[in-house]
């Protein structure tokens, strides 16, 4: 019996394809610091590009990338609607790709860049992956699992804590979300 489109989409996100992007050049090799942009802003721009891709297909525009030794090893854009998968948040998608690429589910030397503060589910995945550092753009005051509502990534009750940097390109990250929801409300009203 043939697969449905939804089954094919679900399988696609669980397998590695040859279309996966190669790791990008190191930020230090591109002269990022000398061009007035720091490494966190440099990599957050890649996460913003992932978020824009999610928004373009009707998903909430959240993007994430995983960086190890200044190389992008995982990318993710929100895909829960398209993949019919409630766990297909940008962070989870990026963590899965990074783990497959390096051959280990522990990402102890990784920095995760996310456009919006991760939710509780994603914060738990960040802890389980042993991410060293999390950099996010805009806070999520309603459902943030890192600082705004819960403090999962820094909880001393857990066996791992994550170094947190918040507010990197926050205005750009917030604007992408606000524009998406403004357009969605306009579409429903018209």
Which residues, in sequence order, are bridge partners of residue 111?
Answer: 67, 133
Neighbours of 17 (CB within 10 A): 7
Q: How far apart are the first and last CA of the chain?
A: 41
Active site residue 117: no
Tell me the C-alpha distance between 43 and 47, whole Å.
Answer: 7
Of 91, 97, 109, 117, the active-site residue reads: 91
Rounded to 10 degrees, the C-alpha dihedral 71/26/119/100 comes to -10
Neighbours of 33 (CB within 10 A): 12
| Residue 92 near residue 126 (C-beta atoms within 8 A) | no
| Residue 134 near residue 126 (C-beta atoms within 8 A) | yes
Tell me the C-alpha distance between 67 and 8, whole Å.
Answer: 29
Q: Is 7 exposed, middle or buried (0-12, 13-18, 19+ CB in 10 A)?
A: exposed
**Which residues are designated catalytic?**
91
């Amino acid at each position: 019996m043939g697969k449905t489109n939804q089954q094919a989409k679900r399988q696609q996100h669980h397998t590695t394809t040859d279309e996966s992007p190669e790791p990008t050049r190191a930020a230090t090799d591109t002269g990022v610091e000398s061009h007035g942009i720091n490494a966190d802003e440099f990599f957050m721009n890649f996460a913003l590009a992932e978020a824009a891709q999610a928004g373009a297909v009707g998903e909430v525009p959240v993007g994430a990338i995983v960086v190890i030794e200044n190389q992008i090893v995982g990318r993710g854009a929100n895909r829960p609607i398209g993949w019919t998968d409630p766990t297909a948040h940008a962070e989870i998608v990026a963590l899965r790709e990074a783990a497959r690429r390096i051959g280990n589910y522990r990402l102890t030397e990784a920095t995760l860049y996310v456009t919006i503060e991760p939710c509780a589910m994603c914060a738990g995945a960040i802890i389980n992956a042993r991410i060293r550092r999390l950099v996010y753009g805009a806070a999520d005051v309603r459902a943030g699992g890192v600082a705004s509502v819960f403090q999962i990534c820094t909880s001393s009750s857990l066996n791992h804590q994550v170094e947190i940097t918040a507010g990197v390109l926050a205005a750009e990250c917030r604007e992408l979300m606000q524009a998406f929801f403004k357009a969605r409300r306009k579409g429903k009203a018209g």
